Amino acid sequence: KVVGVDADSKVVERHRHNGRRVLRGDAGDPDFWDNVDKNHSIALVMLALPGLSANLNALKQLREGGYDGKVAAIAHYKEDEALLKKAGADAVFNIYSGAGFGFADHVSPECFVDSA
């Protein structure tokens, strides 16, 4: 099962309205991780917080709290990837590394349609 977490109550309500299970919470707040049930069955945590420090802080809280499952995190810059790995992330995805290809794939059909 998948459960999302977001600090924005409007975002949470929009996801719930679309049938998704989403909780309101701030994963960048240390108290959030202190309140996660230690006897959980969480297999994977995916950290997609807005900045490196927030992702590193959440990762630190998870690991110090005894979470030994898999953690994936996003990075905005190449140099952040190594920092997240060193901090204990099992997988890191650089959100900009493939952005150009995705952008081109999306735009090409709409902008370069052969009208002949």
Per-residue pLDDT tens digits for 26-83: 988 878 888 777 677 888 899 999 899 999 999 999 888 888 889 999 999 999 999 9
What's the confidence (pLDDT) of residue 105? 86
What's the confidence (pLDDT) of residue 8? 93
What's the confidence (pLDDT) of residue 38? 67
pTM for the model: 0.78
Classify residue 27 by its DSSP letter. T
Handedness of CA 48, 52, 53, 58 (dihedral sign): positive
- 3.30.479.30, 2.80.10.50, 3.40.50.720, 3.50.50.60: CATH of 4-111: 3.40.50.720
Per-residue pLDDT tens digits for 83-111: 999 999 999 999 998 788 888 888 888 78
**Nearest CA-CA partner of 81 in 96, 100, 70, 67:** 96
- Enumerate helices (H) and strands (E) in the chain, giving the number of each: 5, 5
